[in-house]
Structure 1
Amino acid sequence: MSAHRHHDPVLMRAPLYSPEPDEILSDEAISNPQQLYARLRQDAPLARIHASGVHTVANWSLIEEVLKREADFSANLTGVLYRGPDGQPQCFELPSSRANEVIATADDPQHAVHRSILQPAFLASQIKAMEPLLRRWTTATLQPLLDAGSGDFAAVAEQVPARAVAHLLGLPQEDLPQHRVWAMMGGDILAGQITSERLEFLANETANMSAYLGKHLDHALANIDDSDTAPILHTLAGAVVSGEVDREQALGMAVILFGAGGESTAALIGSMLYRLAQAPDMADQIREKPELAPLFVEEVIRLEPPFKFHYRSVRRPCSLGGYELAPGDRLMLLWASANRDPERFSDPDVLRLDRKHSRQHLGFGRGLHFCIGASLARLEARIVLEELLADGRQPGCIAGQPPVYARSIFVRRLQHLPLGLT
């Protein structure tokens, strides 16, 4: 809608979040967000969270509308919801930085430039060529758990993506322990609540990661490999030399890839293994018909998107869903809610292996900002699924050892996933 409708008397400010201002930050909303999302879809598809200036967008149609209106809604990450000192939701304003406005958090024309730089590394042929390597890493990571007959399968979920993103960037695999830490902290700033101790750790590790990636980027700048199969850091170095981006932006792109490529895929793999453990019949069906494996992965992505939402910031006075918005307001596009919108999906809460158009969901975003690494994430998840099922035993949850989700309103990632094999 155009900006002139800002003063239309039939429009209203978005209603207060209901029933409790801080419900979205609650333990229940983190462990079981779908109850909250269902109420939002039904009662308040657009809802203002307390006095934070942040609004949830909960149904498919409104999210789709936002994604088509880039002139009104920017992808720049300018602020995040968090629990303030008084316990109520507030918006933490983020400083403006060119390094923060890259890939997923950049608008066109910059976004198009960044995507064109990275796209060759994610071509289907490039991703397919990684399959033998991914299988070796997966079998090596799974083997100790298979030998023991039980264990914390979060190790598999975290190590395989951390190895993959390091390989794409051109980083040494022997640094895996540090890569794994950095890959899993990408969403911390969006988690909604963080202790001062964790914030200090995050600040220190972000500085360490930036220095580490900066060192490898500078090495690439001094020794550019411009071949078609060159690691991404060399591609970024070439883009710096050509003037497409500056060093700060190139480093920001590398940092984003570390978190987005690591944590999101770890979240997907963990959710997939947990679903498999809860549904023995699914394991049997996929063993009998291996072609069902990609469909299983796709349904897990729909039901449990690795990132539950992404932000958009309001650029100018405008309206959405019958309510007026002001510059500086933020929107939380709830992918995880829209993916279960009954107006869009039949049996939205059911994992179905016969679902038509199985990829028509928002688990990887949509439109201009569709996840550039979606094909790699799908491949990693499928390989983990296939290698585990090849063992022949059924994974199951262990009594008295419940899975533990990362304490985050943003990422749907299992930090601990104890499973046994029978």
Structure 2
Amino acid sequence: MTPAAGPLPDFDNARLFDADPQVLADPHPFYEAARERGPIVREPHYGVFVVTRYPDILEISQRTDDFSAAVSAYGPWAVDVLPRRPEGCPFGEADVSDELEAWRGETPFGFIPVLTADPPRHTDLRSVANRLFTASRQQEIEPRLREMAEEMADEFAEDGEVEFVSRFSSLYPFFVITELFGIPREEQDRLREQFRQRSAAGVTSRPEQSDNTAMRDRIRNERAPGTDPADSLTPNDRQFLDYMRDRRAHPQSDILTQIATARFRDGTLPELEELVEVSSVVYGAGNGTTTDLLTNAMELLAREPDLQAHLRDEPGEIPAFIDEVLRFASPVQGLFRYAKRDAVVDGVQIPAGSVVWLVYAAANRDPERFEEPATFDPLRENARHSVAFGHGPHFCPGQPLARLEGRLAFETLLARMGDIRIDEAEFEPRWPAWYVVRGLESLPLTFTPRSP
């Protein structure tokens, strides 16, 4: 599958962060326009440095002394509350690292710490997350995860039609992560709604309604100097805190217990408040981005009947298919970094205090790294080298689980669904008006029932 080529759009007039309908429909021409402009370009509306080339993203991701994760998913809206570069300071001399740490000290919880922390704090928090999805753990949970996929698919397998997002791709990751966390069934619906509301804060799928003021106000309120850390905990954070208090006192064989009883690298037992966002982030990431992975994969598969037949005959190639989906239709478009000091990357000067957007989806189509990058090729040998899960210290710790869910889901679905097609009469492509993640909000399908 190769998208139709055409003239590149006007990058200067693109509203990358303001729900521009053209960008939402297909952001890749805008990413390509940025890459053609230069290695790193400054978009004109918010002054964000846009990084689209594969090696530059690898470099910035590793340079944690120069680039902080403090802005992570918030991007341009965090600029109002972050330290500014001193005026009149010659390039090469500005350094706002101390001001950034002072700002963190005033508001220790507002942003999600594990996503926005820098070493050494991030290293400690990440050491906890790294232990959750080991190879042995994956092997242990695979039979149950396969059973869950089969149970869910069997509910519509004989219908011949299904709205895929509401009936499978949003439910399967949710129930997987919820069961792995050991959350009681009677509390799952409430928790799911809390996460849905949290994810939607400041984000709407209706461009005419999306000026991002809600997100901007949320950031300002959460990061106000003197804010009590407890006030920054969301309702689901508080719920996870209660869960972990219980698990520390009464350990079980679930992820919450692993987090609650984990020790840092030096052997110290963290305060539970330090770990609550680890649980919250792992739980949330295990929902949304995997939903988008499954949805994007099914959209691509539904347009390729020969590929469907091939993967049914050769299910061992489904992991390669998943890897190419991650490269070609990356669920996470990109995350942000904040320049702590004046830096030069690929010959481009980035002043201290600047916001930098690492566009993973663009790097995954960098022609210098991937041959014919705009072509979907499930046999691509280097697809697994994409940066769909980020790179460096913030590389996603849940990627083994996402890949496992993708493999089990499509082994299950292809065994039960033949001649999968998009129901074009019902299909209205719509994406969330957010620049961080990308996945269809609905995907109506028709298919021929098959016996597994």
Question: 1:12 maps to what in 2?
Answer: none
Instruction: Select between 381-390 and 191-200 the one with higher mean Cα deviation.
Output: 191-200
Instruction: Select between 395-404 and 194-203 the one with higher mean Cα deviation.
Output: 194-203
Q: Identify the match of residue 257 of structure 2 among 234, 246, 256.
A: 234
Q: How far apart, CA to CA, are the structure 1 residues paired with 2:188 and 2:118?
A: 32
Q: For residues 260 and 396 of structure 1, do their structure 2 counterparts lie closer, same or farther at Cα, with a shift above 3 Å needed?
A: same
Question: 1:108 maps to what in 2?
Answer: 119
For residues 174-189 of structure 1, what are the structure 2 equivalents within 5 Å?
A: 174-184=186-196, 187-188=199-200
Q: Which runs of 5+ in 2 are unaligned?
A: 1-9, 83-102, 205-209, 223-230
Q: Which secondary structure state, in structure 2, belongs to the residue aligned with residue 416 of structure 1?
A: coil
Question: 1:13 maps to what in 2?
Answer: none
Superposition deviation, residue 53 in structure 1: 3.8
Conserved 8 A contact 1:158-1:180: no
Please tell me whether residue 421 in structure 1 is matched to residue 447 in structure 2. yes
Q: For residues 109 and 91 of structure 1, do their structure 2 counterparts lie closer, same or farther at Cα, with a shift above 3 Å needed?
A: closer
Conserved 8 A contact 2:130-2:397: yes
Q: For residues 190 and 331 of structure 1, do their structure 2 counterparts lie closer, same or farther at Cα, with a shift above 3 Å needed?
A: farther
Instruction: Select between 412-421 and 198-207 the one with higher mean Cα deviation.
Output: 198-207
Question: 1:284 maps to what in 2?
Answer: 309
Superposition deviation, residue 123 in structure 1: 0.5
Q: How far apart, CA to CA, are the structure 2 residues paired with 1:68 and 1:195?
A: 30
Amino acid at match of 1:352: D
Q: How far apart, CA to CA, are the structure 2 residues paired with 1:105 and 1:209?
A: 19
Q: For residues 307 and 188 of structure 1, do their structure 2 counterparts lie closer, same or farther at Cα, with a shift above 3 Å needed?
A: farther
Superposition deviation, residue 77 in structure 1: 2.6
Superposition deviation, residue 224 in structure 1: 3.5
Q: Which secondary structure state, in structure 2, belongs to the residue aligned with residue 77 of structure 1?
A: strand
Q: Which runs of 5+ in 1 are unaligned?
A: 1-16, 84-89
Please tell me whether residue 167 in structure 1 is matched to residue 190 in structure 2. no
Instruction: Select between 204-213 and 285-294 the one with higher mean Cα deviation.
Output: 204-213
Q: How far apart, CA to CA, are the structure 2 residues paired with 1:72 and 1:197?
A: 30
Q: How far apart, CA to CA, are the structure 2 residues paired with 1:30 and 1:278?
A: 20
Q: For residues 197 and 113 of structure 1, do their structure 2 counterparts lie closer, same or farther at Cα, with a shift above 3 Å needed?
A: closer
Amino acid at match of 1:168: L
Question: 2:5 maps to what in 1?
Answer: none
Conserved 8 A contact 2:173-2:287: yes
Q: Please report the RMSD computed on the Cα atoms of aligned residues, expressed in angstroms.
A: 3.0
Question: 1:216 maps to what in 2?
Answer: 243
Query: Across the two proteins, how many residue pairs are aligned to each other?
Result: 396
Amino acid at match of 1:234: T
Q: For residues 153 and 303 of structure 1, do their structure 2 counterparts lie closer, same or farther at Cα, with a shift above 3 Å needed?
A: same
Q: For residues 244 and 413 of structure 1, do their structure 2 counterparts lie closer, same or farther at Cα, with a shift above 3 Å needed?
A: farther
Superposition deviation, residue 327 in structure 1: 2.2
Deviations 1:125-163 (A, max 9, x none): 101221121122212222233232212110211111112
Q: Which secondary structure state, in structure 2, belongs to the residue aligned with residue 120 of structure 1?
A: coil
Deviations 1:376-417 (A, max 9, x none): 100101111111110141221112222432222111122211
Deviations 1:352-396 (A, max 9, x none): 132223311101112222211111100101111111110141221
Instruction: Select between 188-197 and 110-119 the one with higher mean Cα deviation.
Output: 188-197
Q: Which secondary structure state, in structure 1, belongs to the residue aligned with residue 438 of structure 2?
A: coil
Question: 1:411 maps to what in 2?
Answer: 437
Deviations 1:182-236 (A, max 9, x none): 45556546859466789999999973212221221221233245xxxx3232233
Please tell me whether residue 327 in structure 1 is matched to residue 327 in structure 2. no
Conserved 8 A contact 1:170-1:233: yes
Please tell me whether residue 152 in structure 1 is matched to residue 163 in structure 2. yes
For residues 12-411 of structure 1, what are the structure 2 equivalents within 5 Å?
A: 18-20=11-13, 22-25=15-18, 26-50=20-44, 52-77=46-71, 80-81=74-75, 91=79, 93=81, 96=104, 97-99=107-109, 100=111, 102-155=113-166, 156-184=168-196, 187-188=199-200, 193=210, 207-225=234-252, 230-239=253-262, 243-402=268-427, 403-411=429-437
Q: How far apart, CA to CA, are the structure 1 residues paired with 2:215 and 2:155?
A: 30
Q: How far apart, CA to CA, are the structure 2 residues paired with 1:195 and 1:63?
A: 26
- How high is the sequence identity, in percent, across the aligned residues? 26
Q: How far apart, CA to CA, are the structure 2 residues paired with 1:91 and 1:400?
A: 43
Q: What TM-score comes out, normalization by structure 2 length? A: 0.79
Conserved 8 A contact 2:293-2:439: yes
